[in-house]
Structure formats: structure tokens, C-alpha cells
Amino acid sequence: MVPVSYSVRNLMVRRTTTAATALGIGLVVFVFASVLMLGAGLKRAMGRSGSADVAIVLRAGSDAEASSGIELPAAGLVTASPEVRVRPDGRSDAVGEVVGVLALDRAGGEGVSNVQVRGVPDDVYRFRPSVHVVAGRAAAPGSDEVVVGAAIRGRFRGVDLGQSFEIKKNRRVRVVGVIEDRGSSFESEVWGDIDTVRAAFGREALVSSVRVRLRSAGQLDAFKRAIETNPQLGLTVKRESVYYEELAQGTTMFLTILGLLIAFFFSAGAMIGAMITMHASVAQRSREIGTLRALGFSRRSILASFLFESVVLSLAGGVAGALASLAMGLVRFNIVNFATWSEVVFTFVPTPSIVASSLLFAALMGLLGGFFPAVRAARMNVLDALRA
């Protein structure tokens, strides 16, 4: 076996070429990792928003809360269903909320954007224990106070702690707190008192949706059947996690396709870069290879040595690229959710599996790119190589 140090030292000797190729691969891995992190961020925003043991009820035929309306008596029937978990205080673990989309001015002054506004009942935090007020305080029930999600804080005029904005003409709301929820889509929303929001959006005697926590995730089918088969209600039931998945479908598909295309092109580029460098390396070291073979090293060990060199080269770049991509965790990314037509803000989420995938990807590129040059090195005729 050709010693490992031989491969490594060869890379060090041709420093500029090694650096340039590694840097190129590093850039590719950076983009690859960032795309994966974006996907993870989107998934988390959607996934953390929905639980398996919560069911969401909408008007039949509606895709999203903003276009759905359920009359209060019907909502009451839903929350009283036997499959719904009951809290220690005797109340159903459920909420009915009014959801609308509000046009707000961007903070930088570049136009208008749509933000989802949710009118919540006073026990909403008990229903969603993962939501925390991280700055300021919770809005007082029945008041003109609102809290805003951490992801949209400061992005729009009047939407920050201590500020105020108009939810309807002559109806100002004050921002008293900022909420966080592990990166879920609730962080892109404004939450206000249900009656205030109801009045602003003209949803008298209605809620947009009812969410219930079931006694167990397995209760969904029974619950769904009971509600949907009641012709007087005209409602549809979905598992909350499935609801969010479907909502994100359009956006996810768009980003996935873009991401795949980018990954495809970039991996092709990385392979070609590695191939060029390794090919030149092999050509230049013909005499060396001949010497090694004359000394008795087998073809296989030559092949392995060059493959190893290629992989080390790519991994060096991969590590640099993966490290750089971690910095993307600080960046906030906004895109329109095509289903709700409101802006969703999420972040690049670095996970250990993404870092591992990126490094694996780099190694694979090195392996594939260096394959043909390594084969060429192994197949060299000893005498020809020595004479080169």
C-alpha cells in the first residue's frame, strides 16, 4: 500500500492548484449545504407548526384558514366531541381562531406585503405550550394589544415592541410582546384578541378554524368521521401536521425543484473540477508512478493512492464549504406561501445530518471525479512511465 503521507504531501507540494480546486469544491459544498439547510428550515417551519395529535377543522372545500368560515354553534359542537381531550379544569383542549391576511407596509419602505393575523382566545398559550413570549408580555385578552412573531419583528412598519399599527381604519393595535415557537410558521404571524380581529375582518359570529387536541393521535379517524358525515355542519377535518404539509406544498415544490437543479449543476461542476486537477496531477507524475511500480507497488495500490488523494482534496474543500454554510444560520429568508398568499419568514437550519451529507457529497465528488485519472495512473505501462 502506498503510504498515506505520499498522497497528502503531493497535495501540499502543488499548493496553488490544490487550493484553487479545494476552494471550488468548497463553494459547491457551501451552496449544496445551504440548499439543504433551507429545505430543513422550511420543513421545520411547517412541521413544528403542526402536531400529530391535533386536528384542524375548516369549512368543507376550503384549503386554508383565511378563506374558511365556521359558525359559532358548529364550532361549539366540534369542541364538545368525545374524541377531544379535556383539560384538568374541565374545558376542552381546543381553540377557535379567526385568521385574516393583512396588508402592511414594509419597514424599509419598499412596498406592501401580506402578513397573517390570528385572532386567538385567552387560553391559546395553554393550547400551544411551545409558544413563549420572549420579549415584552402577552397581550391582555379583550384589549387592543397584540404580540408579533419573532421572524417578522421589525420587518414591517409599526410591527415591533412598543410600536403600533392600524388593523382597520381608526382601529390601532399596540405591540406589547414578541413570541417564539421553535421556528414554526406562527413566528411569521401577528396574534391579537379574537374579538378585535373578528371585528377588523368582518367575521362576525364566525371563526376561521377550530383546532382540537385529540385524546390520542389514533382518535383522528373517529373524530373525522363524526364531523364530516354530519351534513348540517359542512366541515372538513385534517390532521394538523398534514394540513401544514399541504399548505407548504407549492412553496416546497418550487424550492425543491430549484434546489435539485442547483445541486445537479453544482455537483457536475465539482466533479469536473476534481477531474481536471487529478488528471493533470497524474500526467505530471508519470515518472514517479513508473518508479513506484518498478519498486513493486501494485496497480491496485496506485489506484487507491490516487483515489485517496482525490478524496482528501475534495474533503478539504468540503469541510471549508460546510463550515462556511453554518454561517447561513444567521440569515433570515422570506418567501411567499403560495397557499395563504402571505409572507413566511424562516431560517437556514444547520443539522448534523446536513453537515454529514455535505461532507459525504464532497467525498463522493472527489471519488467520481478522480476515478478516471486514477485508473489511468494505475494502467500506465512501467517502462513508458519511467521514460516520460
Partner 1 sequence: MNLASLATRNVGRNRFRTALTLLGVAVAVVAFVMLRTVISSMEVAVTHAAHDRIGIRHKVSFVMQLPRRYIDTVRQTPGVHSATWANWFGGKDPRNPREFFPTLAVDPASFLEVYDEVAVSPADRERWLADRQGAIVGDQLARLLRLRVGDTITLSGTIYPGNWVFHVSGIYTATRRSMDRSEFLFHWDYLNNALPERRRDQIGWIIARVDDPSRASGVSAAIDRTFDVQDIQTLSMSERSMNLSFMGMMSGLLAAINAISGIILLILLMLFGNTMSMGVRERTQEYGVLRALGFLPKHIAGFILGEAAALGLAAGVLGLALSYPLVQYGLGRWLEENMGSMVPYFRIETSTAAQALGFSLLLGVASALIPAVRASRLTVTDALRRID
The residues of the shown chain that bind partner 1, judged by CB under 8 A, are 16-17, 20-21, 23-24, 27-28, 30-31, 38, 59-63, 66-67, 100-103, 106, 110-114, 167-169, 200-202, 234, 250, 254-255, 258, 261-262, 265-266, 268-269, 272-273, 275-277, 279-280, 332-336, 338, 341, 343, 345
CB of 263 to partner 1, least distance (A): 10
Would you call 186 helix, strand, or coil by DSSP? helix
Element (H, E) at 168: strand 164-168
Q: Decide: residue 280, CB within 10 A, 0-12 exposed, 13-18 middle, 19+ buried.
A: middle
Residue of 159, 182, 184 lying closest to 172 (CA atoms): 159
Angle CA 127–129–131, to nearest 5 = 110
β partners of residue 84: 214
- Nearer to partner 1 by Cβ, of 146 and 214: the residue is 146
CB of 102 to partner 1, least distance (A): 5
- Nearer to partner 1 by Cβ, of 292 and 345: the residue is 345
Give me the long-range contacts of 84-92 (CB less than 8 A, separation at least 24): 84/212, 84/213, 84/214, 84/215, 84/223, 85/212, 85/213, 85/214, 85/215, 87/126, 91/123, 92/212
| Cell 464549504, located at residue | 321
- Nearer to partner 1 by Cβ, of 80 and 261: the residue is 261
| Alpha-carbon distances, residue 316 vs 36, 145, 185, 296, 365 (angstroms) | 20, 53, 37, 30, 12
- Nearer to partner 1 by Cβ, of 94 and 227: the residue is 227
| Residue 24, C-alpha cell as written in the block | 471550488
- Nearer to partner 1 by Cβ, of 1 and 258: the residue is 258
- Nearer to partner 1 by Cβ, of 11 and 345: the residue is 345
Element (H, E) at 221: helix 220-228
| Cell 488528471, located at residue | 279
CB of 270 to partner 1, least distance (A): 9
CB of 17 to partner 1, least distance (A): 6
What count of Cα atoms within 13 Å lies in the side-chain half-sphere of residue 57? 31
Say what angle helices 352-378 and 249-284 make with each other, to 10 degrees. 30
- Nearer to partner 1 by Cβ, of 41 and 96: the residue is 41
Measured in degrees and rounded to the nearest 5, phi and psi for residue 360 equal -60, -45
Q: State how far the Cα of 165 lies from the Cα of 30, in Å rounded to an integer.
A: 40
- Nearer to partner 1 by Cβ, of 250 and 329: the residue is 250
- Nearer to partner 1 by Cβ, of 131 and 316: the residue is 316
CB of 203 to partner 1, least distance (A): 9
CB of 156 to partner 1, least distance (A): 11
CB of 176 to partner 1, least distance (A): 21
CB of 90 to partner 1, least distance (A): 34
CB of 135 to partner 1, least distance (A): 23
